[in-house]
């Protein structure tokens, strides 16, 4: 800190702050207090956007999510959405048919983010609607955990959220019962009337017999 002996000034002049400290006149360069670096601003933007999007998705999927409120799951979903936003897919104009950061996300308490597995891929129909592909059921059973025989109940939900409009959220919910006695059942496709649109993230989640719950697929645009 340089002492100012000749000028008896206080205030800011040409980016230099002149002030009096302990009876002596001093000066220092004006700092960048209150300003964030571009990297810090970008990080804050990602955190805020992920948190807001996570809240919208959780509200939409509330009938499927296990209760009561699960804060660890919320933090895991926030983190997965942050990972996705950092890939840059959300600023692409073209479609992305697989959001790896969300696929396999488990809503079950105590599970890791990618701990959910069901062999049911998600695609788009010719007119842009979501399609859930349910595999053939035979032995060994392609979904875990499930009983070898009996009723397989799928609680299926699809949600679409427009990133730049917090009020543009579309939700579809249905249940599908499959009677499986151990005899082979053919594969089937289930049309979900949620049309993919520009600027929207689309998520398909399901619960299996009220036990395992998670995301089977997520697409962008």
Instruction: Assess whether pLDDT exceeds 60 at residue 23.
Output: yes
Residue 187 class from Cβ within 10 Å (0-12 exposed, 13-18 middle, 19+ buried)?
exposed
- pLDDT value of position 40: 66
Interval 121-137 mean pLDDT: 95
Instruction: In whole angstroms, give the CA distance from residue 61 to residue 196.
Output: 18
Helix, strand, coil proportions of the chain in percent (round to 5)?
20, 40, 45
Whether 218 contacts 202, CB under 8 Å: yes
Kindly indicate the confidence band of residue 6, based on its pLDDT and cuts at 50, 70 and 90.
very low
| pLDDT at residue 138, as a whole number | 74
- Mean pLDDT in residue range 122-143: 85
Helical residues (DSSP H) of the chain, grouped into ranges: 38-60, 71-87
Mean pLDDT of 128-148: 74
| CB-based contact 84:101 (threshold 8 Å) | yes
- In terms of Cβ atoms closer than 10 Å to its own Cβ (0-12, 13-18, 19+), residue 100 is middle
Region of poorest pLDDT, from 24-33, 119-128, 138-147: 138-147
Whole-number pLDDT of residue 149: 61
Q: What is the pLDDT of residues 40-91, one digit of tens each?
A: 677 778 999 999 999 999 999 999 997 777 889 999 999 999 999 999 999 9
Least confident of 45-54, 76-85, 139-148, 153-162: 139-148
């Amino acid at each position: 800190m340089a002492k100012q002996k000749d000028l008896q000034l206080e205030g800011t002049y040409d980016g230099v702050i002149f002030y009096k400290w302990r009876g002596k006149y001093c000066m220092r360069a004006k700092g960048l207090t209150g300003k964030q670096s571009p990297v810090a601003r970008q990080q804050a933007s990602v955190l805020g956007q992920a948190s807001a999007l996570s809240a919208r998705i959780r509200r939409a999927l509330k009938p499927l999510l296990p209760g009561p409120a699960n804060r660890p799951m919320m933090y895991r979903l926030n983190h997965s959405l942050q990972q996705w936003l950092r890939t840059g897919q959300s600023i692409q104009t073209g479609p992305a048919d697989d959001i790896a950061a969300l696929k396999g996300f488990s809503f079950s308490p105590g599970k890791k983010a990618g701990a959910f597995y069901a062999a049911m891929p998600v695609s788009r129909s010719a007119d842009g609607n979501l399609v859930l592909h349910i595999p053939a059921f035979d032995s060994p059973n392609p979904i875990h955990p499930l009983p070898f025989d009996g009723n397989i109940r799928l609680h299926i939900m699809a949600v679409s959220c427009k990133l730049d409009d917090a009020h543009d959220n579309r939700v579809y919910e249905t249940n599908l019962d499959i009677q499986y006695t151990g005899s082979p059942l053919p594969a089937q496709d289930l049309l979900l009337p949620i049309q993919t649109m520009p600027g929207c993230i689309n998520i398909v989640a399901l619960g299996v017999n009220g036990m395992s719950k998670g995301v089977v697929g997520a697409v962008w645009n």
